[in-house]
Amino acid sequence: MIFREATAADIPQIQFVRNAVKENQLSTPGLITDQAVLEFISIRGKGWVCEAGGAILGFAIADLKENNIWALFVHPNHAGKGIGRKLQRLMLDWYFSQGRQSVWLGTLPGTRAEAFYRASGWTENGKHGSREIRFELSKAQYEAHQSPKC
C-alpha cells in the first residue's frame, strides 16, 4: 500500500470510495461534486489517499478554512487494516504543522467512525447539526495520544 497526497486525477476514485461506505452515507450520492473535492484538496486544505494496485482504498481531507476534517473514509472491503489510522496520522501531522491548535469533525453516533475517533483521543463536544456528534482534538491532545500503536 502506498500513502500519498491526493491529486485531481484521484477524484473519480475518491468519489467511488465515498459512495461505497455503509455508514455515514450521503443522503444524495451526487451531493459532493468533483469540483468541491478539488477545492478541498487544492485550495481549502489538503488530501491524502491510500492506494494499492492502482486503486484507492481510502482517503482523508483536512479543511484549513473551517478548521475541520472534511473527510476520512476507507472502502468497506479494506476496513480494519490500519488504513484509516495511517491516513488520520498523515492528515493531522500536516494540519497541526500549519500552526493550527485544534480541529473538529462530525460523525453519526453508533458508527465505527464514532468508536474510531474516541479511540484516537478525540473528545465529544456537543452536536453538529441535528444528527451528528461533534468531536474536537487539540494539538496537545493529539501529541499526547501518539504512540507506536496509533
Q: What is the pLDDT of residues 67-123, one digit of tens each?
A: 999 999 999 899 889 999 999 999 999 999 999 999 999 998 998 899 999 999 999
pLDDT of residue 23: 67
Q: Give the list of residues 6+ apart from residue 38 with CB closer than 8 angstroms, or none.
A: 8, 11
Supply the DSSP symbol for 24: S
Q: Are 128 and 135 in contact (CB under 8 A)?
A: no
Distance (Å, rounded) from C-alpha 113 to C-alpha 106? 10
The predicted model gives 33-41 an average pLDDT of 92
pLDDT of residue 25: 54
pLDDT band at 150 (very low <50, low <70, confident <90, very high): very low
Confidence check: pLDDT of 21 > 80: no
Which residue segments constitute the domains of the chain, with CATH numbers given? 2-145 (3.40.630.30)
Lowest mean pLDDT among 8-22, 26-40, 122-136: 26-40
pLDDT band at 18 (very low <50, low <70, confident <90, very high): confident
Q: Are 71 and 60 in contact (CB under 8 A)?
A: yes
pLDDT of residue 105: 94
pTM of the predicted structure, to 2 decimals: 0.88
